[in-house]
Amino acid sequence: MPGICCAVGCDNSRQRNPGLQFVSIPKDLDRRNKWLAAIRRDHWQPTSNSRLCSQHFVSGRKNDNPMSPDYIPSLFAHTSAGQRQRSIYATSRFEHTQQMKRKRTETLVPDSDHETVAPSSTSDATGLDITLVEQVESVKDDHSYSQAILSSGIVEPCSNAACQATVKALTNECAQLRAEVNCLKDKVNVLSFNEEGNDEMVQELTGLPSYAKMMVVFGFLS
């Protein structure tokens, strides 16, 4: 049984590294060509005995999901540090998305008392809690908003708990931003001295005795 990794510069083998997996090169032509391009082995064509070890996949194993970064191996001796970090980040994001999808599926499965299981907080591979942006993305994945519009043109409120929580959070944030904008407008109005008769403020800010004399100075300078 073949047990030596075919990647350039990799000396892993089944005998020396019993904990590693050794996978064959895909038979699907498109995926096979992408693997060969990633391996970068000049003037070489794999055989049925050729194997690639699992250390060349970020998650430590190949993934047959075309959306997964580990659908194609990405960690090799020629991989730059930047490319390596991007591959690690992409794999972390993919696994986090898959975890969120599994969580949403579990919330739809009733328990023994026929009650919906409440969703729990999750964290990604870096230990960070799910942000509001990620919640919006998860809700977007689960809904077809085109189906929520009635024939009258009125949008039907969503009954999904995660969607309602996200909408509420965005509504509160919008209200807070509006309040801040109104507060800033009030400050601008207080500091403005573009109206005639506000001689006290003109004198305080410019040293000129009145608004009329300030305009005379402006006219002379222009």
Q: Which of 119-128, 175-184, 205-214 is the least confident region? A: 119-128
One domain for residues 100 and 165: no
* C-alpha–C-alpha distance, residues 47 and 206, integer Å: 85
Question: Do 32 and 25 form a contact (C-beta atoms < 8 A)?
Answer: yes
* C-alpha–C-alpha distance, residues 62 and 55, integer Å: 10
In a domain, 59, yes or no: yes
Closest CA to 142 of 166, 120, 123: 166
In a domain, 114, yes or no: no
Which of the listed residues 80, 106, 132 is the one where a domain comes to its end?
Answer: 106
pTM for the model stands at 0.47
Position 16, amino acid: R
Query: In 41-196, which ranges are continuous DSSP H helix?
Result: 81-107, 132-142, 161-191
Q: Which two tokens stand for residue 23?
A: 């996978």
**C-alpha to C-alpha distances, 138 to 53, 65, 171, nearest whole angstrom:** 34, 19, 18
In a domain, 70, yes or no: yes
In a domain, 129, yes or no: no
Predicted confidence at residue 213, as pLDDT, reads: 83
Give Cβ neighbours of residue 88 (< 8 Å, ≥ 6 apart).
58
* C-alpha–C-alpha distance, residues 148 and 156, integer Å: 5
69-83, 122-136, 152-166, 179-193: range with highest mean pLDDT: 69-83
Range of the domain at 211: 197-221
Residue-wise pLDDT tens digits, 127-158:
444 444 444 454 444 444 444 444 444 555 66
The count of structural domains within the chain is 3
Q: Which two tokens stand for residue 28?
A: 């699907």
* Residue range 10-37: mean pLDDT, rounded: 93
Q: Kindly calculate the radius of gyration of the chain based on its CA atoms and give it in whole angstroms.
A: 31
